[in-house]
Amino acid sequence: MKSKWYGLAPLLAATALALISPVAAQTPPNVLVVGQIAEPASLDPHVSTAANDFRIAVNLYDGLVRNKSGTLEIEPALATDWTISDDGLEYTFNLREGVSFHDGTPFNAEAVKFNFDRMLDETHPFADTGPFPLSFFFSSVDKVEVIDDLTVKFTLSEPYAPFMSNLASPTGLIVSPAAVEQFGADYGRNPVGTGPFKFEEWQSNTSVVASRNQDYWGGAPALEAAIFRPITDANTRVAEMLSGGIDVLLETPPDNVAQFRDDANYQVVEAVGPHVWYVMLNAKEGPFADVRVRQAVNYAVNKESLVNDVLQGTAEVSAGPIPPAFNWAYNEEIDPYPYDPEMAKQLLAEAGAEGASLTFLVTEGGSGMLDPVPMGTAIQADLAAVGLDVEIQTYEWNTFLSEVNPGLEGKADMAEMAWMTSDPDTLPFLTLRTAAWPEEGGFNSSYYSNPEVDELLDAARVSTDQEERAALYKKVQEIAHEDAAWLFVANWKQNAVVTSAVENFELQPDFGLVLRDVSKP
């Protein structure tokens, strides 16, 4: 018996060697392999909701307008220029000439109309290729008209300042009508746009491959192809980067960032994002109904330590409800509450809230939530140090949202939350107005209310003058800060690690992963 096995041994060893010996190859030149955080759900930009999908979509498609590289300012894309009527209701776009979709069909005003009607008109023949979860970004659009082949006019039902920002968001990307007609509900796996890269293939859970669009109106990109690989587990993603399987690592776990920073084979790329991480404070009932208690917790929490120790420098301390990424609307003059436990104790004493017991809703994870459990416990510890007794209740993300979105009344005093938005209007409009309390269908789950803020936000939404809007948002930040509407915590800095072979790689403040200028010789 033994001898039989010994006979097999060399054969087995040879097979094992044959499989193992070719050392895992480096990725080929001119092809960029991106390690994504998950399998995309759909490459139909009107259907998807995840940043993960958008990172691919922005390379396959163009919108009428886009955010200028490195900023959140609008610049032309498929529209070369536009006019806005004085009442802020009519937007007329002149379209770029001679642009074709990857399937060869021409891009024109009809195509634009098709795109928006598909999302907004429930009787449109292709409305059933949805659902279109984020189409409410355009719910102020009353109608879209074709003026001539290269001119299209949007009429809004009410003035809506964030309209241009929303057009520049991934939901505003323009898809090929012919391809939607051909593939119907399967369009999301057969995407056709006008972008710098053409969709090649999608192997479920293995890769999405996009190749260079030689005829791109903005000039063909340097890369021959971009391959997006889903690698859900953060540790595995890091391991793939270290073993040479990918060129770009997205959303590096905070604990690994330093390791890559210290290694000359890699570059760590960072960018601010329009992201806010905060803790809602129930202003309707309990201790936080008193503004002094809300201010006290803002003094009591050591946010510097949170962003440096818990988040390992992957975020910055936040001062208010509008993130600095919206540079034109951001109020530089407002400083974050300093860490001052003595001041906190004093305020708590004045309010008679010493030793109060608080319930704190914490999520296990979720879009933009960073490291919610360690952050929650750090906050709990800081509040304990000033004598507040915080009880944490932890929920899975979807459950968490269904607990928090209907409002904190009767349930909790505090709840974590984070938002990523494309316009400075979105977050305060949905979370700080009195008319956005949950029963009105908004996300003001902590019942903050200040008539002055309400007025400012209403005015900012209908103004088409950017300077005027900026002044209004700056005032909103000032008041929200003084009122301590929330426990302001952090603004996330997005990060990516790329190998030293990759050139011109930049992260965009809108979270788009724009590869048209990237090269990897």
Partner 1 sequence: MTTYIGKRLLAAIPVILGLSIIVFLVMKLIPGDPAQALLGSYATPENVERINRALGLDRSWPEQYVIWIGNLLQGDFGRSYILNRPVLDEVLERFGATLILAGSSLIICSVLGILAGIVSAVRQFGWTDRIVTFFVLIGISMPAFFLGLVLILLFAVQWRLLPASGMYAVYGGGDLPDLLRHLILPAGTLAIVATGVVARLTRAAMLEVLRQDFVRTARAKGLSENAVIYRHAFRAALVSIIPVIGIQAGFVLGGAVYIETVFQWPGLGQMLVKAVSTRDLLLVQGGVLVAATVYVLVNLLADVAQAMLDPRLKA
Q: Considering only the stretches 111-119, 305-313, 321-329, 391-399, report the one whose residues sit in contact with partner 1 under the rule CB under 8 A.
A: 391-399
Strand-pairing partners, residue 280, are 415, 486
Which residue of 227, 293, 362, 480 would you call a contact of partner 1, by CB under 8 A?
Answer: 227
To the nearest 10°, report the CA torsion of 257, 56, 127, 163: 70
Residue 205 lies near partner 1 (rule: CB under 8 A): yes
Give 95 or 238: the residue with its C-beta nearer to partner 1. 238
Give 13 or 381: the residue with its C-beta nearer to partner 1. 13
Strand-pairing partners, residue 226, are 32, 210
User: Least CB distance from residue 222 to partner 1, whole Å?
Assistant: 18
Name the residue with tokens 């990857």: 102
Q: Which of 40, 64, 13, 22 is nearest to 203 (CA)?
A: 40
Q: Considering only the stretches 201-209, 408-416, 461-469, 473-481, report the one whose residues sit in contact with partner 1 under the rule CB under 8 A.
A: 201-209
Give 426 or 508: the residue with its C-beta nearer to partner 1. 426
Give 400 or 473: the residue with its C-beta nearer to partner 1. 400
Would strands 357-363 and 414-420 be described as parallel, antiparallel, or unpaired? parallel
Amino acid present at 398: N
User: Least CB distance from residue 299 to partner 1, whole Å?
Assistant: 28
User: Least CB distance from residue 83 to partner 1, whole Å?
Assistant: 30
Q: Please name the residue ranges forming H helices in 45-91.
A: 51-60
Which residue of 76, 106, 130, 313 would you call a contact of partner 1, by CB under 8 A?
Answer: 130
Distance CA(240)–CA(258), nearest Å, equals: 17
Give 182 or 206: the residue with its C-beta nearer to partner 1. 206
User: Least CB distance from residue 271 to partner 1, whole Å?
Assistant: 21
Residue 385 lies near partner 1 (rule: CB under 8 A): no
Q: Considering only the stretches 67-75, 235-243, 262-270, 447-455, report the one whose residues sit in contact with partner 1 under the rule CB under 8 A.
A: 235-243
Residue 258 lies near partner 1 (rule: CB under 8 A): no
Distance CA(84)–CA(100), nearest Å, equals: 26
Amino acid present at 310: V
Contact 407, 445 (CB under 8 A): yes
In the stretch 147-186, what mask flags binding to partner 1 with x, by CB under 8 A? --------------------------------------xx
Which residue of 80, 182, 357, 405 would you call a contact of partner 1, by CB under 8 A?
Answer: 405
- Compute CA distances 45 → 140, 172, 426, whole Å: 19, 8, 20
Terminal-residue alpha carbon distance, the chain: 56
Give 13 or 384: the residue with its C-beta nearer to partner 1. 13
Residue 134 lies near partner 1 (rule: CB under 8 A): yes
Contact 173, 79 (CB under 8 A): no
Residue 42 lies near partner 1 (rule: CB under 8 A): yes
Residue 41 lies near partner 1 (rule: CB under 8 A): yes
Residue 136 lies near partner 1 (rule: CB under 8 A): yes
Which residue of 398, 482, 503, 504 would you call a contact of partner 1, by CB under 8 A?
Answer: 398
- Residue 110 tokens, joined: 């009809």
**Binding residues with partner 1: total (CB under 8 A):** 66
Q: If DSSP codes are grouped into helix, strand and coil, which group holds residue 271?
A: strand
Q: How many CB atoms lie within 10 A of CB 251?
A: 17
Which residue of 24, 332, 451, 521 would you call a contact of partner 1, by CB under 8 A?
Answer: 24
Q: If DSSP codes are grouped into helix, strand and coil, which group holds residue 136?
A: helix
Residue 44 lies near partner 1 (rule: CB under 8 A): yes
Q: What is the largest CA-CA distance in the chain?
A: 93
Which residue of 32, 45, 47, 457 would you call a contact of partner 1, by CB under 8 A?
Answer: 47
Question: HEC states along 293-358?
Answer: HHHHHHHHCCHHHHHHHHCCCCEEECCCCCCCCCCCCCCCCCCCCCCCHHHHHHHHHHHCCCCCEE
In the stretch 259-298, what mask flags binding to partner 1 with x, by CB under 8 A? ----------------------------------------
Among residue numbers 411 through 450, which ones bind partner 1 (CB under 8 A)? 417-419, 441-443
Contacts by 195-199, CB closer than 8 A, 24 or more apart:
195/58, 195/59, 195/60, 195/61, 195/62, 195/516, 196/59, 196/220, 196/221, 196/515, 196/516, 197/59, 197/60, 197/221, 197/223, 197/225, 197/226, 197/515, 197/516, 198/60, 198/102, 199/43, 199/60, 199/102
Distance CA(326)–CA(293), nearest Å, equals: 29
Query: Which residues neighbour 285 within 8 Å (Cβ) at sequence distance 6 or greater?
Result: 409, 410
Among residue numbers 320 through 379, which ones bind partner 1 (CB under 8 A)? 366-368
User: Least CB distance from residue 355 to partner 1, whole Å?
Assistant: 32
Residue 399 lies near partner 1 (rule: CB under 8 A): yes
User: Least CB distance from residue 460 to partner 1, whole Å?
Assistant: 20
Residue 28 lies near partner 1 (rule: CB under 8 A): yes
Give 196 or 230: the residue with its C-beta nearer to partner 1. 230
User: Least CB distance from residue 276 to partner 1, whole Å?
Assistant: 11
Query: Which residues neighbour 48 within 8 Å (Cβ) at sequence distance 6 or greater?
Result: 40, 41, 42, 54, 57, 170, 188
Distance CA(296)–CA(352), nearest Å, equals: 12
The site for partner 1 (CB under 8 A) is made up of 1, 18-21, 23-25, 27-28, 31, 33, 38-39, 41-42, 44, 47, 49, 130-131, 133-134, 136, 185-186, 188-189, 203-207, 209, 227, 229-233, 235-236, 239-240, 242-245, 366-368, 396-399, 401-403, 405-406, 417-419, 441-443
